[in-house]
Structure 1
Amino acid sequence: MANRIHPTAVIGAGVELGDDNVIGPYTVIAGPARIGDGNWIGPHVTIGTPGEDRTREHPAAWDAAPTGDPDHDGHGVVIGSRNKIREYVSVHQGTWRTTTIGSDSYYLRGSHIAHDCVVEDGCTIASNVITGGHCHIWSGANLGMSTVLHQRVTVGPGAMVGMSSAVRKEVGAFTIAVGNPARTTGVNVVGLSRRGLDEATIEALGPWLKGKAELPGDGLVDRLPADLSTLIKAWDARPRDEH
């Protein structure tokens, strides 16, 4: 299906759109940017303006796509498919890697994704969430209203962060964090249950999720649903200095 773009929206040079996207009034999308299919992008959204870095130029990106930094690959914004991006959301261009938003996520009113962030699939980013630059939010994470992420923070898959929390260090996979500064308060049992895990399996994974033990080596992870097994293995194998 064709894209439905409001006549007041501004689509700059270097923007590539897939199919069946809705782009609302007064939204500005500056290139270089690549956007997939079936996204709902509300009014007054801003995507692809320069990262907030005092040392970098601030070109009129809605007129002509910036050339980026020739010494680094990955300048710009890439957005997947089937996202709901509500009014006043902002997404900045990368400075050393592509600012990347995955698919099937919900970005509530006024949330902000800073330069060089990576947000994976199936996330919920609530109203007024603000990320610092270079953050990595893994699949299925849920950030509560007015959460603030310090730059270079990693939020693990399936994690939940309570509203108005200030996150200054890594939030583990399928844990719950809350407060200022945010602290881990437990395991996201509800989230794991919704993915098909029973109480015994969640209990067996508990020590690993809390960072107190290695991942169980008895084949437990291989018996999990395939998507969850893959996600847990990827989290366990990640470089520990990525954040």
Structure 2
Amino acid sequence: MTMIAASAKIHPLAVVEDGAVVGENVVIGPFCCVGPKVVLHDEVELLPHAIVTGLTVIGRGCSIFPNAVIGGDPQSLHHDGVETTLTVGEKCTFREGVTVNTGTTGGGGKTVIGNNNLFLANSHVAHDCILGDNIVLSNSVMLAGHVIVEDRVIIGGGSAVHQFTRIGRQAFIGGLSGAANDIIPYGMLHGIPGVLNGLNVVGMSRAGMDKATIHRVRRAYKQIFESEGAIRSNAAAIRDEYADCAPVIEILDFIAADSDRALSSPGRGKG
């Protein structure tokens, strides 16, 4: 049975299928389609021609623009048709033509998006991706399946991210780049194939990191990536030196973690 709050505003030319849950002050414009297993929390707005389908939950205050398709089936040859999920947090904006897919059975069965994220026109989030908060995907960014994007990441227009790649917190990927390997927290990546090109110092400063801490992170970066020896060995060797510096420890933990991908580096091979 459809549950529609009395305060919701649904255009007569919209289709809200039986079984959908529509919260308080939701606005659904003309020619929108809302599937039977969709939950739209309070204050969600669907502009004309937006589609929300699948077993999908959209958090409070999200906006979905024309021709976006949120909750479509995964684009995977291994998808077995079993119902999987998409969960979106609060205050996310999906601009024109954005596509976001549900998960796959083999990949955990869920795609998860956090809060306050901005997806610009024609960007794509594939099956089983896990995204944090305050992320920006610029126009035509493509995330393949199983990608993990941590908080405050910015990805420039036209960039593509390989499946199973991890992107660390507050990393920056320049436009028209190809991210085929993991990117450390605070890292900057440019080019095809993508090469690590220092740290996102501007983003670190804007996030409130003080100059002394930024200086220590930059010094640690040089020790890890510019010293002789393997990246992971270099990272392990400096852990005690930076035990009191949380951002450096964050980078070291990221490097030490298990992953399906190699580490992006400044022109070197696998870490």
The secondary structure found in structure 1 opposite 2:198 is strand
Q: CA deviation at 1:56?
A: 2.7
Structure 1 gaps, min length 5: 59-66, 69-74, 222-227
Match of 2:100 in 1: 91
Question: Is 2:238 aligned against 1:220?
Answer: no
Aligned match of 2:86 in 69, 77, 86?
A: 77
Q: Which has the larger radius of gyration?
A: 2
Deviation of the 1:236 alpha carbon: 4.2
Letter in 2 for 1:177: L
Q: What is the one-letter code of the residue matched to 1:28?
A: I
Q: Structure 1 pair 211/144, CA: closer, same or farther in 2 (3 Å)?
A: farther
The residue aligned with 1:239 is 257
TM-score, normalization by structure 2: 0.75
* Alpha-carbon distance in structure 2 between the residues aligned to 1:235 and 1:83: 29
**Segment of structure 1 superposing worse, 34-43 or 204-213:** 204-213
- What is the count of residue pairs matched by the alignment? 222
- Compute the TM-score of the two structures, normalised by the length of structure 1: 0.84
2:111 and 2:173 mapped to 1: Cα distance? 22
Moved more, 175-184 or 4-13: 4-13
Aligned-pair distance for 1:31?
A: 2.0
- How many Å separate the matches in 1 of 2:251 and 2:80? 40
Residue-by-residue CA offset, 1:38-71 (whole Å, 9 max, x unaligned): 011111110111111123356xxxxxxxx52xxx
Q: Could you tell me which residue of structure 2 aligns to residue 15 of structure 1?
A: 38
Pair 1:16–1:160, CA change in 2 (3 A): same
Q: What is the root-mean-square deviation in Å for CA atoms of aligned residues? A: 2.3
In 1: Cα distance, 2:190 partner to 2:210 partner? 25
CA-to-aligned-CA distance 1:194-242 (integer Å, 9 cap, x gap): 1222222111122444671345545232xxxxxx79x938954973226
* Higher RCO (Cα < 8 Å, 6 or more apart): 1
What's the secondary structure of 2:79's corresponding residue?
coil
Q: Which residue in 1 is equivalent to 2:8? A: none
Structure 2: unaligned runs, 5 residues or longer? 1-23, 225-234, 262-271
